[in-house]
Structure 1
Amino acid sequence: MSTPEPDRVVLVTGGSRGIGRAAVRALHREGAHVVLHHRASAEAAQALADELGAGTGQSRVHVLRADLAQPGEPERLWREAVAWRGHVDVLVNNAGIYLASPLDDDAAWTSGWADNLTVNLLAPAELCRLAVAHWREPGRAGGGIVVNVTSRAAHRGDDADHLAYGAAKGGLQSLTKGIARAFARDRILAYDIAPGWVLTDMMGPDADALAATMPMGEITPPEDVAEVIAFLASGRAPHTSGATIDVTGADYVR
């Protein structure tokens, strides 16, 4: 896929906070029309849309709500995203959850696996499926781009209480590579970005103590991850397809 046309449309899941919010800003800055998905942050999502020009008559941001943990919601989100401007050119699967699945609690283990797999793997997989089908429609030229936000846990696994999270992110990473290999001839590109600790509003009071242990003396800002998303979404380096980009501030180096 060559450098995308100015009217490219990017769907960002989990776009109202953290990495997603920074990505929406970066993609909008680069000229994209952005579908900003959220689950339960309507006020934050609308505030971001307003910041980027909603209500001016020339807005390039469209807010959609969907609960990706619920059956049928990924498909509805995709259908409504495409309906906005007739196409979606880039899919950024950023929405995710970090839920415990401790071995010594039968109920939490079962629910933790079910919820982590549903939101962190099955929902983005369904969106990937719909995106690939859209980009392979007869008469459509130019392919498309998938950017999946995984985690360093996809490489190394996670701690004892979050085994399901690491497994789900590892599955999403494998899916990304499979898409890149299987659909390269269709000019469909696929990447995954594997952040470590990221300084979002979910970090809490331990952020300063954690930052002191980091090689750079700080936790990765979400804007660093967003800049990588924006570059990959540009299509300017198509032969990078299939790559995993680590954004960890050298805290985890492969």
Structure 2
Amino acid sequence: MSTSHSLTTQTVLVTGGARGLGRAITETFLREGATVVINYRSSAEAARELAEQHPGRAVALQADVRDREAVNTMVQQAQQQLGAPITTVVNNALVDFVFNGDARTKADELEYPELAAQFEGTVAGALHAIQAVLPGMREAGFGRIITIGTNLFQHPVVPYHDYTASKAALLSLTRTFADDLGPEGITVNMVSGGLLQTTDASAATPDAVFEGIAAGTPLRKVTTPEQMADAVLFFASVWARGVTGQNLIVDGGLVKG
């Protein structure tokens, strides 16, 4: 199998890459020899600490993914510092959301600004990152775009209305972009997890919820950020070269299809 696009040759942008799931994704790519741009919005210390552990193969750069110009500037800085275009982007950033079912907004209370806020972070953020890296992917003749979804599409056991609606829109974007960019050798796929144990966003989740989820899975375990990161790695690897427009559910078998 050709290694021309192996992980060791890829420069990967992980949005929200310093904490939680993003950190697990960053560490997984670094472990496999990739070069990583660790994007952060406010977690400067965590991002820089992680980058310093991998001199020459990681840089920490600040940008709010909702700000198109900030994202463009970040990508330009990354390419200048690393001397190579970004070939792979993982749209992981989750803006201001906490998984606490007791505190969620119910159907009769939901207001559109809550939906719009999640669309800004999830959909606009992904759009900005993808469009910023596309010139570099085209220069390289290769690209891997991975988005982060949710198994709540199929199993809305907790109706996080704003979060799930924004991720559903991101799934649509994943599939339409896969068709649009496929002729250029760029694949676009989504990895959808369930509740992860544990990230900053899921820290507020009661233990009883985790226990209930574990009991409902064939593996009798709650999915970890590291297991999600492994699936992200697959979509970036040469092993997924014939796969695009797909949504892979990684939740221990809780949801089927």
Q: TM-score range by the shorter chain?
A: 0.7 to 0.9
Matched residue type, 2:207: D
Gaps of 5+ in 1: none
Residue-by-residue CA offset, 1:32-57 (whole Å, 9 max, x unaligned): 1100011111111122223x333xxx
- The residue that corresponds to 1:168 in the other structure is 166
Count of aligned residue pairs for this structure pair: 243
1:218-237 alignment, distance < 5 Å: 218-237=221-240
Residue-by-residue CA offset, 1:125-169 (whole Å, 9 max, x unaligned): 121223334323xxx343211011111234455744x32211110
- The residue that corresponds to 2:63 in the other structure is 66
Of 35, 38, 54, 1:36 maps to: 38
Distance 1:221 1:144 in 2: 27
Identity percentage over the alignment?
A: 28
User: Do the aligned partners of 2:63 and 2:70 also contact (CA within 8 Å) in 1?
Assistant: yes
Distance 2:180 2:199 in 1: 37
Distance 1:2 1:177 in 2: 26
Tell me: CA distance 1:154–1:96, structure 2 relative to 1, closer, same or farther (3 Å): farther
Of 192, 195, 199, 1:194 maps to: 192
Structure 1 residue 119: Cα displacement: 0.2
SS at match of 1:150: strand
SS at match of 1:236: helix
Distance 1:201 1:76 in 2: 28
Tell me: CA distance 1:116–1:225, structure 2 relative to 1, closer, same or farther (3 Å): same
Tell me: CA distance 1:211–1:104, structure 2 relative to 1, closer, same or farther (3 Å): closer
Gaps of 5+ in 2: 99-103
Q: CA RMSD in A?
A: 2.4
User: Structure 1 stretch 86-95 or stretch 141-150: which is displaced more?
Assistant: 141-150
TM-score by length of 2: 0.84
SS at match of 2:228: helix
Of 72, 77, 88, 1:75 maps to: 72
User: Do the aligned partners of 2:145 and 2:188 also contact (CA within 8 Å) in 1?
Assistant: yes
User: Do the aligned partners of 1:153 and 1:170 also contact (CA within 8 Å) in 2?
Assistant: no
1:1-254 alignment, distance < 5 Å: 3=3, 4-5=5-6, 6-50=8-52, 52-54=53-55, 59-70=56-67, 72-84=69-81, 85-97=83-95, 98=97, 102-105=106-109, 109-136=111-138, 140-156=139-155, 159-160=158-159, 162-202=160-200, 203-204=202-203, 206=205, 208-213=207-212, 214=214, 215=217, 216-254=219-257
Matched residue type, 1:239: G
Structure 1 residue 102: Cα displacement: 4.6
User: Do the aligned partners of 1:211 and 1:217 also contact (CA within 8 Å) in 2?
Assistant: no
SS at match of 1:245: strand
Residue-by-residue CA offset, 1:70-123 (whole Å, 9 max, x unaligned): 453332333323333230010111111336555444xx7233122100001111
Distance 2:184 2:68 in 1: 29
Distance 1:120 1:205 in 2: 21
User: Do the aligned partners of 2:12 and 2:35 also contact (CA within 8 Å) in 1?
Assistant: yes
Matched residue type, 2:245: G
Tell me: CA distance 1:91–1:224, structure 2 relative to 1, closer, same or farther (3 Å): same
Tell me: CA distance 1:155–1:178, structure 2 relative to 1, closer, same or farther (3 Å): farther
